Amino acid sequence: MDLNRANTETVDPTYLWIGPKEKTLTDNSRISITETGKLMVRDFLEPLSGLYSCTLSYKTVKAEIQEETTIKRRYEFMIFAYREPDYSYQMAVRFTTKSCVGRYNDLLFRVLRKILDNLISDLLCHVVEPSYKCHFVKIPEHSLLHELFIAFRVDPFAPGWESACNDSVDCEDITNRNILKARDRIEEFFRSQAYTFYHRLNNTVPAMHFVDHSFQVVRMDSCRPGFGKDEGLHSNCASCCVVCSPGTFSPDVDVSCQICASTQILQTPSLLRSYSTPGLCQSVAMLPPAVRLLPLLLVIGTRGPVPSLRSPPQGCYVAQEAGERTFRCSQAGLSAVPTGIPNDTRKLFLDANQLSSLPAGAFQHLSILEELDLSHNALAHLSGAAFQGLAGTLRHLDLSANQLASVPVEAFVGLQIQVNLSANPWRCDCALQEVLRQVRLASGTGTGIVCGPGARPDLVGQEFLLLAGEKELCGTGRGGARRSTDVALLVTMGGWLTLVVAYLVHYVWQNQDETRRPLKRVPVLQVRSEDSSTLSTVV
């Protein structure tokens, strides 16, 4: 609190802590005060939020005259508990229709809602506030079209959602994880609609179909009753739901606290994680490692410095999921890999951002990372050393729904991973085949590896795994070099055969010419052997 006092000698210090409602704090099951003045709090509840003061008493001693003087200093704090907001997702899609009148539009709307509810029901999420309107749309170089503009919200509080939180103190961890899965399922559903329309309908266009690229999603935050956001007062955690300040309240799931005529303290339990302030009188909360509710400390007065809290980038948070340290930055508007990711992170979610490239060693400090989600970004380039340092631990990698036409094979050398490469505009060449030899595809994702606009025209839109055995895929990259070598070998052999044929023709012609010349007399030497046989030798 008081750095000058903390760095000097203090004689006979004593400490008196006063909590909310001017209640003197003494040791009990929740609170203890150490001999050095630290206030230890366990299982922090919302009623414990409020004004705290620590009165430090100490003595100054003049040894030469044995004179003692008692001095008192008072330090005040405002302590708030806060928690992560509850996520929900506002979504919008468009469907073509034959007309803005008729019962089929309403039928499509009701069937679509039922399909989506069934798709996410096991996650205890559901579709709420659905609506649609029909509009006339003029597209350049096309006639006037009729389209249904459908909007709905997905939240994680379907009937019975409380049952998922019975064994967890961090219920928002569970509900937020479920809603993220629900978002991914719905997005995949509409992506498959677009794929089916373009690749499976054999040029038969139905009157009512999903409009490609019309799916939009925005995350909406809500706070539990008694909590609200205040970016001005709590700028170091602007996205957090902070317990309402004295004199304000929040009776519903709004994100702001309202001024009330009389103060009322809500009794919703909450916890906070360890934190300590510098100096002699210190406030520390001690809790289980799975808890994510942190304190916001504001020093009232001018005697001490305001402690600073380092929080993750806006839209990011640390969580414990299935007992593993998880860092989530889903849909946080990131254009680069954020700094400050804890070194002990095992699961990292950077999905639904605006990352366009991955530099060398982007994750090399995460020595125990097991799962990395980079889906739904704008990745078009990966360094060959992007995953350097992860060879021994990384098991799951999601690169789906990006802008990857090719990736360097060396980026995956040594990695024992399952990877999702679907929904990218692949070039579909031998280089991609080399990559697939280095990795294992995540279950059910192989059909999503489709040749994009950069591939040969006859391959665009086709599934790569169905084409991988054809020789004509080796037209670029390493495959191209192999084809060039084959051609050169054939040319060389053809030239060699031509020379052989020419030589044979010349040889035959020369022999025929020799037979036309007069034969010269050849001397013959006869030698009589003992057995009376004759041997003739031409010389």
pLDDT at 91: 94
More confident residue, 61 or 348: 348
Neighbours of 433 (CB within 10 A): 20
CB 427 within 8 A of CB 435: no
**How confident is residue 486, by pLDDT bands cut at 50, 70 and 90?**
low
CB 283 within 8 A of CB 77: yes
pLDDT at 125: 92
Q: Region 401-418: what's the mean pLDDT?
A: 91
Query: Which residue is listed with tokens 């309403």?
Result: 106
pLDDT at 201: 53
Tally of CA atoms within 13 A in the half-sphere of 518 that contains its CB: 2
More confident residue, 522 or 154: 154
- The amino acid sitting at 150 is I
CB 173 within 8 A of CB 292: yes
**CA separation for the pair 447, 470 (Å, rounded):** 17
**CA separation for the pair 323, 321 (Å, rounded):** 5
Q: Are strands 86-97 and 144-155 parallel, antiparallel or unpaired?
A: antiparallel
pLDDT at 382: 92
pLDDT at 369: 93
Task: Flag the least confident range among 128-132, 278-282, 359-363.
Answer: 278-282
E strand or H helix that includes residue 527: strand 524-528
Q: Region 250-266: what's the mean pLDDT?
A: 66
**CA separation for the pair 44, 359 (Å, rounded):** 42
Q: Region 448-466: what's the mean pLDDT?
A: 89
Give whichever of 31-35, 269-273, 532-536 has the largest mean pLDDT. Answer: 31-35
**How confident is residue 168, by pLDDT bands cut at 50, 70 and 90?**
low
Residue 419 has pLDDT above 90, yes or no: yes
- β-strand partners of 127: 154
- Sorted by where each begins, the domain ranges of the chain are 86-222
73-96: per-residue pLDDT in tens?
A: 888 887 777 777 888 899 999 999
The tokens describing 504, both together, are 């044979």
**CA separation for the pair 73, 90 (Å, rounded):** 52
pLDDT at 68: 86
pLDDT at 117: 93
- The amino acid sitting at 385 is A
Backbone angles phi and psi of 6, in degrees to 5: -65, -25
Residue 508 has pLDDT above 70, yes or no: no
Query: Which residue is listed with tokens 């229709």?
Result: 97
The structure's pTM equals 0.41
Distance of CA 276 to the CA centre of its chain: 32
pLDDT at 533: 38
Q: Region 256-275: what's the mean pLDDT?
A: 50
More confident residue, 6 or 453: 453
**How confident is residue 381, by pLDDT bands cut at 50, 70 and 90?**
very high
Q: Region 512-538: what's the mean pLDDT?
A: 42
CB 105 within 8 A of CB 220: no
Residues 6+ apart with CB under 8 A from 398: 351, 372, 373, 374, 375, 419, 420, 442
Task: Flag the least confident range among 88-102, 213-227, 369-383, 386-400.
Answer: 213-227
Query: Which residue is listed with tokens 């957090």?
Result: 240
E strand or H helix that includes residue 191: helix 171-199
pLDDT at 225: 80
pLDDT at 166: 66
Residue 268 has pLDDT above 50, yes or no: no
In terms of Cα–Cα distance, which of 16, 17, 2 is closest to 57? 16
Angstrom distances, CA of residue 425 to CA of 120, 191, 410, 421, 506: 28, 14, 20, 10, 59
CB 420 within 8 A of CB 397: yes
CB 244 within 8 A of CB 264: no
Residue 83, SS3? Answer: strand
27-72: per-residue pLDDT in tens?
A: 888 888 888 888 888 767 667 777 889 999 988 888 777 788 888 8
Question: What Rg, from alpha-carbon coordinates, does the chain have?
Answer: 39
Over the range 484-523, which residues count as b (16 or more CB within 10 Å of their CB) and which as e? eeeeeeeeeeeeeeeeeeeeeeeeeeeeeeeeeeeeeeee
pLDDT at 305: 32
Q: Region 535-539: what's the mean pLDDT?
A: 33
Residue 436 has pLDDT above 70, yes or no: yes
Backbone angles phi and psi of 478, in degrees to 5: -65, -35
Q: Region 273-299: what's the mean pLDDT?
A: 35
**How confident is residue 418, by pLDDT bands cut at 50, 70 and 90?**
very high
DSSP secondary structure code for residue 301 in this structure: S
**How confident is residue 262, by pLDDT bands cut at 50, 70 and 90?**
low
Residue 296 has pLDDT above 60, yes or no: no
Q: Are strands 216-222 and 86-97 parallel, antiparallel or unpaired?
A: antiparallel
